[in-house]
Amino acid sequence: MTDHRPGVEAARADTPRFSPLYRQIKGLITRGLQAGEWKPGEPIPSETELAARFGVSQGTVRKAVDELAAENLLVRRQGRGTFVATHHEERTQFRFLRLRPDDGGPPGRMESRILECRRLRAPVEIARALGLRGGETVVFIRRLLSFEQRPTVLDDIWLPGALFRGLSAERLGASVGPLYGLFESEFGVRMIRAAEQLRAVAADREVATLLGVAPGSPLLQAERVTYTYQDRPVEVRRGRYVTDSFHYRSALG
Amino acid sequence: MTDHRPGVEAARADTPRFSPLYRQIKGLITRGLQAGEWKPGEPIPSETELAARFGVSQGTVRKAVDELAAENLLVRRQGRGTFVATHHEERTQFRFLRLRPDDGGPPGRMESRILECRRLRAPVEIARALGLRGGETVVFIRRLLSFEQRPTVLDDIWLPGALFRGLSAERLGASVGPLYGLFESEFGVRMIRAAEQLRAVAADREVATLLGVAPGSPLLQAERVTYTYQDRPVEVRRGRYVTDSFHYRSALG
DNA sequence: TAGTGGTCTAGACCACCGT
DNA sequence: CGGTGGTCTAGACCACTAA
């Protein structure tokens, strides 16, 4: 790279007064990830190699990789290398599902059933959340998650139609792992982070029937917006959780 | 300090195979915080000074402080110094209260009313969560939080009696800031982190009355265990939130 | 044993803050 | 201006993994 000295950067002067070198390196690595230069699950080049490529010291690369690892874009494995994060792994499996059995242990046998999958014009709120122009089509998915045969989660999912061409109930049914793994492998869309808004709601008749609870039962509702690279929203999800013997874990730091 | 070289550490050999130097430094700084060597809101010595005191390089101190800052025990302020975190500040004010108005903006005028404050023998579940022996006394507090005159949060709080001698309704009423600020200043108990379990429940008659909702209304319930240094539990809290126009924010990363 | 990430050092310089 | 944290470097050595 050229012109990455702090002073030079400062001279550029716009919104962020100063962008340190390691952040620029971070940006370059992110660009490589986004462009698919290294695929999920694969290792990226070693720190010394990246340092040579970018013409900076290893310490600077290290700090860039540190941040990317903290954001779960990369995974460090001592003695082996640094790998591109993937949703096809035990460890990342439940990163976005915060529901846990009250008795502690990991969730037991989980079964996913697709109830619906069709295309429709995006409702205004969905379009707004996804940054779509009015009238664009979205893929709508409704699915039911059961733990040990007990229906527990009803998810309604909206995805930008343009990014998920060819997504169908059959395709979903044929897949085994987590949805985000499918999205990553089949559509090249990598879910990076999400924000949820939680509230307690009363189950309406339709939802109550699907979840096997009495109408009016209290349900935990999670409205999620999921983002890919560049903080681009690519999924809206409304989940309803039966919290009789499960709870949603939240860590306050 | 003496004997902090990696090799020496490795030779000690027990559970953690190897404890890097910066973690030991981190432990020493934490001990200072816990012992009250530096008070909340005050600056700790500069990095160079700490490096000299501990006989390590500045970079090693830096990494220790980095972690402590990431855990919100310290706050770095460029050009000024590194300060001991405190609950008496705007920025940390809402660190543990994740409820937000649906319309985005920050919570409006908040009013806290103490409904109850008394001592009682710890119920078994509370005693277990707080690591108390059966029959020890706890302080029980019930309080109501209202936003813009609208009752929104009902908190039941249990604290170890031994740590909070002299805590009374009057004392609570006389205080202005957040509870954790009071606990920090008056009782020397600093809340560091917490874990919550969320579920949807139906309001019973008593709770419904206090919150001004219909009995059976769905409420978001948060069961919190709060920890101080050394991961010692020092508070159990059960909150019930009215989520008609508020939601609980959760970030998935 | 070779290669990777992880730690530690010493020193330089920069950005930011208060005086 | 002096002092603080923030960045960057170059080089050494350690811990871990796989072949």
Q: Residue A81: its pLDDT value, please? A: 98
> Looking at domain A8-84, does it have CATH number 3.40.1010.10?
no
Give the closest residue to B50 by CA, choosing from B40, B41, B37: B37
Instruction: Note the pLDDT tens digit of each residue in A160-174.
Output: 999 999 999 999 999
pLDDT reading at A11 higher than 70: no
pLDDT, tens digit, 9 for 90 and up, residues A67-89? 999 999 999 999 999 999 999 98
Chain A, residues 224-243, CB within 8 A of chain B, namely 224, 241, 243
Q: Nearest C-alpha of chain A: how many angstroms from B197?
A: 5
List, as ranges, residues 29-58 from B with C-beta within 8 Å of A: none
Closest CA-bearing residue to C1' of C17: B79
pLDDT of B9 over the 50 cut: no
CB proximity list for B226: less than 8 A, separation 6 or greater = B96, B191, B193, B194, B233, B234, B235, B236, B237
pLDDT, position B5: 38
Instruction: Identify the pLDDT of residue B17.
Output: 66
In this prediction the pTM is 0.92
Rounded Cα distance, B101 and B82, in Å: 33
Whose CA is nearest the C1' atom of nucleotide C10?
B57
Q: Are A115 and A207 in contact (CB under 8 A)?
A: no
Mean pLDDT of B162-172: 96
Identify the closest residue of chain B to A192 by CA–CA distance: B253
The yes-or-no verdict on residue A210 having pLDDT over 60 is yes
Residue B16 pLDDT: 58
As given in the structure block, the two tokens for residue B114 are: 């103490």
**Whole-number pLDDT of residue B152:** 98
- Give domain B93-248's CATH architecture: 3-Layer(aba) Sandwich (3.40)
Cβ contacts (< 8 Å) between A102 and chain B: which residues? 197
Order the strands of the B137-147 sheet from edge to edge: A99-101, A246-252, B193-202, B218-228, B232-241, B150-160, B137-147, B110-121
Flag whether pLDDT at B13 surpasses 80.
Answer: no
How far apart CA B68 and CA B72 sit, in angstroms, is 6
Write the residue in A196, A218, A241 that is nearest to B250 by C-beta: A196
Nearest protein residue, CA measured to C1' of C2:
A79
| CB atoms near residue A209 (< 10 Å) | 11
Instruction: Kindly tell me if the per-residue pLDDT of B126 is higher than 90.
Output: yes
- Other CB atoms within a 10 A radius of the CB of residue A226 amount to 24
Residue at token pair 């007990």 = A150
pLDDT tens, position by position, A34-47: 999 999 999 999 99
Instruction: For A121-153, write each residue's pLDDT tens digit.
Output: 999 999 999 999 988 999 999 999 999 999 999
**CA gap A122, A37 in Å, rounded:** 33
Provide CATH 1.10.10.10 ranges for chain A: 8-84
Least Cα separation, residue A206 to chain B (angstroms) = 17
Distance from CA of A243 to the nearest CA of B (A): 5
> Where do you find CATH 3.40.1410.10 in chain B?
93-248
Assign A109 a pLDDT band (cuts: 50, 70, 90). confident
Q: Residue ranges of the alpha helices (H) in chain B?
A: 6-12, 21-34, 47-54, 58-70, 90-93, 124-130, 169-174, 179-187, 205-211
Nucleotide nearest to A81 (CA to C1'): C4
Which among A51, A31, A34, A67 has a CA at the least distance from the CA of A234?
A34
pLDDT, position B18: 84
For B188-230, the pLDDT digits (tens) are: 999 999 999 999 999 999 999 999 999 999 999 999 999 999 9
Please give, one letter per residue, the 3-state secondary structure of chain A. Answer: CCCCCHHHHHHHCCCCCCCCHHHHHHHHHHHHHHCCCCCCCCECCCHHHHHHHHCCCHHHHHHHHHHHHHCCCEEEECCCEEEECCCCCHHHHCCCCCEEECCCCCCCCEEEEEEEEEEEECCHHHHHHHCCCCCCEEEEEEEEEEECCEEEEEEEEEEECCCCCCCCHHHHHHCCCCHHHHHHHHHCCCCCEEEEEEEEEECCHHHHHHHCCCCCCEEEEEEEEEEEHHHEEEEEEEEEECCCCEEEEEEEC
Which one-letter amino acid corresponds to residue B15? T
The pLDDT, as a whole number, for residue A6 is: 38
For residue B7, pLDDT over 60 is answered with no
Residues B247, B241: Cα–Cα separation, whole Å: 9
A27 lies within 8 A of chain B by CB:
no
How far apart CA A178 and CA A88 sit, in angstroms, is 7
Q: ∠ CA A32-A37-A39 to the nearest 5 degrees?
A: 110
Q: In whole angstroms, give the CA distance from residue B118 to residue B221.
A: 22
**Residue B253: its pLDDT value, please?**
87
Q: What pLDDT, on a 0 to 100 scale, did the predictor assign at position B84?
A: 98
Give the tens place of pLDDT for each residue, B50-94: 999 999 999 999 999 999 999 999 999 999 999 999 999 877 778
Q: How confident is the model at residue B6 (pLDDT cuts 50, 70, 90)?
A: very low
- Summary mean pLDDT of chain B: 92
Cβ–Cβ under 8 Å, residues B192 and B242: no
Are residues B152 and B246 in contact, defined by beta-carbon separation less than 8 angstroms? yes
Q: How confident is the model at residue A3 (pLDDT cuts 50, 70, 90)?
A: very low
Phi first, then psi: give them for residue A252, nearest 5 degrees: -110, 120
